[in-house]
Structure 1
Amino acid sequence: MRWTLKPKPEAHKLKHLMEVLQVNEVVATLLLQRGIETYEDAKTFFRPTIAQIHDPFLMKDMELAVARIEKAIANDENIMVYGDYDVDGTTSVALVSSYLKTIYPNIATYIPDRYEEGYGVSFQGIDYASDNDISLIITLDCGIKAIDKVDYATEKEIDIIICDHHRPGNELPKAVAVLDPKRDDCNYPYDELCGCGVGFKLIQALSSKRGQTVTDLFPYLDLVATAIAADIVPVTGENRTLAHFGMQVINSAPRAGIKAIINQLKKDSLTITDVVFVIAPRINAAGRISQGLHAVELLTEENIEVATQYAASIEAFNMERRELDQEITKEAFQQIEKLEEQERFTTVVYDENWHKGVIGIVASRLIETYYRPTLVFTKSGDKLAASARSVKGFDVYNALEQCKEHLIQFGGHKYAAGLTLKEENYQVFKDAFEEVVKNTIDKNLLTPEILIDKEITLKEITPKFYRILKQFAPFGPRNMSPVFMSTELKDTGWAKCVGADEDHLKLTAVQQRSPRISGIGFNLGDKLPKVQGKKPFDAVYSVDENTWNGNTTLQMRLRDIR
């Protein structure tokens, strides 16, 4: 790994913040790195309030969207809420449909089948709406590029309201309303909302017409926080506020479906990291292995006994997803190892039998090992479909755009995307993608980087310091859990490898004139020789708590050692 120490903030800003907040240099540095320069900035950051949730009517087309929904209700029309099959899509559908059902009964939900229909708005979904006398479709977490699908719906006299957060193309679909804060002509104050966040703005606008306030909508924020965590959007600005209150709902009064998942965990209090690694994969598993509508059923069910049964079914999907993930990752590794020994700037693999639902996870696994922009392909009907994942700092979406003449369609973000192509175009696309990445990537980006907030000494790690660090949560992109470096450490002599396969490193470190502190490094077992025999070493780590036999102590969560 490349260790990169973030630049030290300007001295006058550091001095000012230390004085006005009465904090030490480390805390002031962490705040300045996150763009917090004044007392007011810090107050907003540490004490999120309802006032930080923006007026939904600042979003372009919101008035049009609300007017069309109100017209549908007045005319007794059937409304379909349509969303993608991932966590952001299914939580969005659960949120908007469950709210609409509190004011109007004629609401249907639709999640496209990953295998039959693929990503986004489908012709089959529009046909389903037409066959069921549905005259208004609200799309969530998809639709911003569905120009032909919207035209098709218009031919069938079906109106569409698009709620999306992906980057628009050069042309917008001719929908009744297009809600997307990334529209060039949209002046909404925050453009990093997830799909569920855009859905929340829609129900916020609808509810305001009924005299309701944001506080009345708090029960929906467990869904928004789950989507923010799962979709890896920045945890800044309005997202931070929504995630903050959403995590409170998750930990105090979650909906039955989320409570049913939490009950399987036997954990008192969840962090946003728990949502990323525990709740989100289970919701995702439904769309990966079976049908995303199972997740919507779970998230909209109000009876805890029924929700518990749904959660058990989804847990079974999750176990199957894990097995497939391990099996396909192993096959992908074998495929890569058979390739000729030549320097490649991408990792592209394909097997027609791989399960489409887990290729995105496999792509992430390959990144962990090979650290290259990665595509994992499988057969999807008469075409090939792929999930793309990227390395930090490289925009894989832009790279795909430069190869688009070989693709049928593609969409996504800077670090994750999906695409389809004709089978006969696979090799020419693979070569083109390799060439684009080779010519545009900064070669330093092919070595994983660990960004270090600040160098500190072990004696600075105190209970008071950790209490302040915890207030930086919820963590996520642009507000990651702080990472520290300490130098000239020595193990007390008891360092060892732990875990079933002895993959993890456990040690107790001391530094000159400092108390000892324990450390755990997951998948750092191979670093044991670097710390044995009381050899001095440097470490990069975050600080967290370890509870053992009822005792809670602070520990280093080791990221790397040298």
Structure 2
Amino acid sequence: MEKRWVLASSCNDATVNEISDQLNIDRALAQILVQRNICSFEEARNFFRPELTHLHDPFLMKDMDKAIDRIDLALQKGEKILIYGDYDVDGTTSVALAYSFFSQLTSNIEYYIPDRYLEGYGISTAGIDYAAANGFTLIIALDCGIKSIDKIDYANTFGIDFIICDHHLPGDTIPNALAVLDPKRSDCEYPFKELAGCGIGFKLAQAYCQKHDLPKEKFLQYLDLVMVSIAADIVPVVGENRILAYYGLKKLNSNPCEGLRALMEVSGKTENYTITDVVFTLGPRINAAGRIDHAKHAVAMLLCQVDGNALEQSVEINLKNTERKTYDQDITREALALIGDSEVLINKKTTVVFNENWHKGVIGIVASRLTEKYYRPTIVLTKSNGHVAGSARSVAGFDLYEALSGCAHLLDQYGGHKFAAGLTMQQQNVDAFADKFEEIVSATITDELLIPMIKIDAEIELAQIDGKFFRVLAQMGPFGPENMSPIFVTHGVYLAQHAMTVGANHLKINIKQQNSPIFEGIAFGLAEFEKLLQPKVPFSVCYTIEENVWRDKKRLQLNIKGIKVN
């Protein structure tokens, strides 16, 4: 598939030169820092040396004082507290954190995860009924609740107080809960707006420790859980999230909680984790519990304090992940067959597919795969509990949530953000919805947005890449949204030896420039270029720089994202 190469806008030369001189780093690296709004020595020092002392005061978050006061009252009176959370990675890590923290202070506490298939996303009537029937008077909801207006009103009829810890964008009305912790509230002055749901739970624990003068270790022990939520929920890895991710990775790689340690063991990777490793190794396994069975099993694993029990739980979850992969592959194959290569598809700006027999737990993954293949806003629908449920995925730069808002009259429910969303509707509305969604997207998306983009941070020569260059580059991590691993472009490179296809569709090449060392490169999915690249014929590459470790030997390798023959 054709891809657009877009070079980042130029920066203020004086600022770049100043940063380069002050830090004694390559000018290209200084340019990347400035592009990422790091424009002074002090900002660069904080960026390269993140400190836990830079975390914000949790009481800057609106309603935090109310939340802590209500928890204090519940603990003093011996009230029953229910920790309630969503069934994805962010939700389950949030529940594990909050339950583990507050269970040190009371035995009158349980946790509750809604059933994905019977209750759906967010606060459920069934969950409130469970709390009422079992004498719970305080519910702490994590990673959900900000739009549960009617459910909170329903809970109030039982005299159940809610503390909502959410990070999603609120609607026009804030739920009538006792406390609503959400930095995205328009009336909340908390300095950092992009915490994950587990991050809000972390701030709640931090606030409790701060008020009661408890050791910081009481809440810092959960940094690995917070980091996993940051990685899996694809929130920006900047500001406070970057500090939490930085120290969370340190903890994961040195002293993870028993549940994560066991999951790392069954995954086959036990050390040197990055954010990317968490996204593709730990995240899918934790998610698989709720997709295939029930997410309470993921929470149980994360709460394990005994290694043997943790390993047993993680083995079960790993099996669920294997089962999830089978569903994923089968449904993706069926969806591709359903779409085909029809003329209708070629002229469409969206992909909407429906099969009432598909497994609801994996349709989001399938939507992502279809988006990668056809690169257009995509919705995968299936039958669930008498209605049609769907997962939607967007392309970079297009607001999917806004497009769904234009179809609201055909939907029973929808929620999410600009890149991913969930929705439900009546089956008789499927065709009308597909047509309306196509109409809205076609009217608002540009042709340019339908071509995948490679955002290039800087143009460099291969000779600039050396050990120091890479060491500085590595310190820019952990990488993630809004702080991605920099992509470089180099023009006029040549093959040092013939290109070679490896695996199913990957290309291995060795390249050089006139005054540079030879660099080994791996280009995943780009085997088509093998016949196009010839000795003495110059070409351009864009790539990230990685360290390849083989038999205890380290060498720099280029992970090639795109090739253009000059």
For Structure 1 versus Structure 2, the TM-score category normalised by the shorter chain is: over 0.9
Structure 1 match to 2:388: 384
**Worse-superposed segment, 47-56 or 261-270:** 261-270
1:173-192 deviations in whole A, cap 9, x for unaligned? 11111111100111100000
**Worse-superposed segment, 528-537 or 58-67:** 528-537
Distance 1:266 1:444, change over 3 A: closer
Q: Distance in 1 between matches of 2:343 and 2:104?
A: 60
Structure 1 match to 2:451: 447
Matched to 1:433, the amino acid is F
**Worse-superposed segment, 526-535 or 273-282:** 526-535
Instruction: Give the SS at the match of 1:530.
Output: coil
**Worse-superposed segment, 545-554 or 329-338:** 545-554
Aligned partners of 1:493 and 1:534 also within 8 Å: no
Shift of 1:550: 3.2
Aligned pair partner of 2:210 in 205, 208, 211 = 208
Q: Distance in 1 between matches of 2:387 and 2:269?
A: 43
Matched to 1:151, the amino acid is D
Q: What is the 5 A alignment of 1:474-485? A: 474-485=478-489
Structure 2 match to 1:351: 355
1:185-219 deviations in whole A, cap 9, x for unaligned? 11100000010001111111112222125444221
Q: Distance in 2 between matches of 1:134 and 1:77?
A: 7
Aligned pair partner of 1:334 in 334, 337, 348 = 337
1:291 aligns with 2:294: yes
Structure 2 match to 1:104: 106
Matched to 2:389, the amino acid is A
Report percent identity of matched pairs.
51
Matched to 1:126, the amino acid is I
Q: What is the 5 A alignment of 1:45-444? A: 45-264=47-266, 265-337=268-340, 339-341=342-344, 342-444=346-448
Instruction: Give the SS at the match of 1:428.
Output: helix
Shift of 1:228: 0.2
Shift of 1:534: 4.4
Q: Distance in 1 between matches of 2:518 and 2:392?
A: 43
Aligned partners of 1:101 and 1:107 also within 8 Å: yes
1:143-171 deviations in whole A, cap 9, x for unaligned? 11101111111112211111111111111
Q: Distance in 2 between matches of 1:392 and 1:476?
A: 15
Distance 1:267 1:532, change over 3 A: farther
Structure 1 match to 2:17: 15
Shift of 1:16: 1.5
Q: What is the 5 A alignment of 1:490-505? A: 490-499=494-503, 501=504, 503-505=505-507
Instruction: Give the SS at the match of 1:233.
Output: coil
Matched to 1:408, the amino acid is D
Shift of 1:336: 1.0
**Worse-superposed segment, 396-405 or 382-391:** 396-405
1:36-60 deviations in whole A, cap 9, x for unaligned? 0000100110111122111111011
Shift of 1:408: 1.0
Shift of 1:267: 3.8
Q: Distance in 2 between matches of 1:344 and 1:56?
A: 47
Instruction: Give the SS at the match of 1:41.
Output: helix
Instruction: Give the SS at the match of 1:420.
Output: strand
Shift of 1:266: 4.1
Aligned pair partner of 1:464 in 468, 473, 477 = 468
Distance 1:116 1:210, change over 3 A: same
Give aligned pairs, total. 560
Q: Distance in 2 between matches of 1:154 and 1:286?
A: 31
Aligned partners of 2:511 and 2:518 also within 8 Å: yes
Unaligned runs of 5+ residues in structure 2 are none
Matched to 2:228, the amino acid is T
Shift of 1:391: 0.5
Aligned partners of 2:259 and 2:303 also within 8 Å: yes
Distance 1:198 1:166, change over 3 A: same
Shift of 1:437: 0.9
Q: Distance in 2 between matches of 1:85 and 1:328?
A: 22
Shift of 1:410: 1.0
Q: Distance in 1 between matches of 2:216 and 2:530?
A: 52
Aligned partners of 2:498 and 2:535 also within 8 Å: no
Q: Distance in 2 between matches of 1:284 and 1:304?
A: 21
Aligned partners of 1:493 and 1:532 also within 8 Å: no
Matched to 2:311, the amino acid is T
Aligned partners of 1:271 and 1:474 also within 8 Å: yes
Shift of 1:532: 3.5
Aligned partners of 1:518 and 1:556 also within 8 Å: yes
Aligned partners of 2:237 and 2:478 also within 8 Å: yes
Distance 1:281 1:289, change over 3 A: same
1:320-355 deviations in whole A, cap 9, x for unaligned? 111111111111111111654351111111111111
Instruction: Give every structure 1 segment of 4 or more consecutive aligned residues whose post-TM-superposition deviation is greater than 3 Å.
Output: 213-216
Structure 2 match to 1:526: 528
Q: Distance in 1 between matches of 2:536 and 2:320?
A: 47
Unaligned runs of 5+ residues in structure 1 are none
Shift of 1:548: 2.5
Q: Distance in 2 between matches of 1:411 and 1:282?
A: 24
Aligned partners of 2:25 and 2:469 also within 8 Å: no
1:107-146 deviations in whole A, cap 9, x for unaligned? 1111111111111111111111111111111111011110
Q: Distance in 1 between matches of 2:427 and 2:443?
A: 25
Aligned partners of 1:493 and 1:533 also within 8 Å: yes
Shift of 1:485: 0.5
Q: Distance in 1 between matches of 2:80 and 2:343?
A: 57
CA root-mean-square deviation: 1.2
Matched to 1:469, the amino acid is L
Aligned partners of 1:21 and 1:39 also within 8 Å: yes
Matched to 2:467, the amino acid is P
Q: Distance in 2 between matches of 1:187 and 1:294?
A: 36
Matched to 2:214, the amino acid is Q
